[in-house]
Amino acid sequence: MKAIGFYETGGPEVLKEIDIPEPMPSRNEITIRTSFTSVNNLDILMRSGGTKMNFSLPHIPGTDISGIVEKVGEGVSGIQEGDRVVSSTVYGCGDCRQCLSGNEVLCKSWKVLGMHVWGSYAEVVKIPSFMAIKPSKRYSMEELGCMPLSLSVSWRALKVAAKAEEGETAIIFGASGNSGLFSLMLAKAMGLKTIAVTRSEKKKEPLKKAGADHIVMYNPSENGAMQNEVLNLTGGEGAEIIIDPIGNPINSSIAMLRHGGRIITFGTSANPESSLSIKKFYWKSASLIGVHNASAKELSEAFIFAEKKGIKPIISKRLPMQEAAEAHRLFSSSETFGKILLEHKWK
């Protein structure tokens, strides 16, 4: 079968067509014939070597997946060949207390599709069957191919970690990015007041359409214009929730946080490290919560909520898998607004 992968880390040009044997499902596993995937920051980090983790080469990236169940292993129930599915993004050891209680994301041996194992830039992908979700037919395969990672992590950040409540205010950093956009749409649908933060003037208008009540230009300095603007917008109080997929300096975030507020962090593209003023932190009774991925159960709940509220992904570009390098270039140029979809169409 065909896949796009890389034998060495580097620029988009390292992505090559690779022939690999089709995986066969073991007990409690299934294989999915991939219809669509989409480009996530994780794909870029893996390809460029930016994760700083050790992994064997060649590697096949790709965390999002929509497709059709190809083969079902022994012991699998509730999923059949031919089912239309998406996959959650993370699995654990399968045996620990967290895995057995549906919190695989908290397993100490967590692994992510396309990161620790080969992902959806391959024609056929093997996953533990519990990761497969049969979503509503109201979503097209194209839409489904760009939802799992961004939707589920945004859901976990807002619902599970921040315990967002209607009427609260959420600041969303990197609002025009994959998870930022889903966080914005989910927050709006949850009845939150939304302050979207972006680096690009050009993204202000589409962000407004996507649900931003206010838009603030990114400026990470601790006493800068961004903080003043947020404080003005919140009557001097700050926001209850900060959703941070980029790694804004933590003291700058605390400066914009209301007393008792929650900062949820799940990315480091702006800053891998950040120093924390412990005094400012506890004087505000602040909470800082890390999130990576979400469980299959959470993805399922997120889909139900998204469908009920009419949330659809914004797709900016659709390319064949053979043009994955171009898709990576586009993603890194930040010129697009919305997801970059990759279609498996070989012959």
> Which residues of the chain form contacts with Zn ion (CB under 5 A)?
92-93, 96, 99, 107
Distance CA 11, CA 14 (A): 6
CB-nearer residue toward Zn ion: 113 or 243: 113
Shortest separation between residue 41's beta carbon and Zn ion, angstroms:
25
Shortest separation between residue 142's beta carbon and Zn ion, angstroms:
33
Shortest separation between residue 106's beta carbon and Zn ion, angstroms:
8
CB-nearer residue toward Zn ion: 130 or 182: 130
Shortest separation between residue 91's beta carbon and Zn ion, angstroms:
9
Strands 193-198 and 169-172 turn out to be parallel
Distance CA 44, CA 42 (A): 5
Shortest separation between residue 301's beta carbon and Zn ion, angstroms:
20
Shortest separation between residue 56's beta carbon and Zn ion, angstroms:
22
CB-nearer residue toward Zn ion: 107 or 315: 107
Q: In 3D, which of 70, 69, 68, 73 has the Cα closest to residue 28?
A: 73
CB-nearer residue toward Zn ion: 160 or 288: 160
Q: In 3D, which of 193, 182, 185, 187 has the Cα closest to residue 153?
A: 182
CB-nearer residue toward Zn ion: 23 or 92: 92
- CA 279 to each of CA 72, 236, 239, 282, 283: distance values in angstroms, whole numbers, following the listed order: 54, 20, 19, 5, 6
CB-nearer residue toward Zn ion: 111 or 199: 111
The two tokens of residue 274 are 């950040």
The length of the chain is: 347
Distance CA 102, CA 312 (A): 26
Sign of torsion over alpha carbons 280, 153, 171, 303 = negative
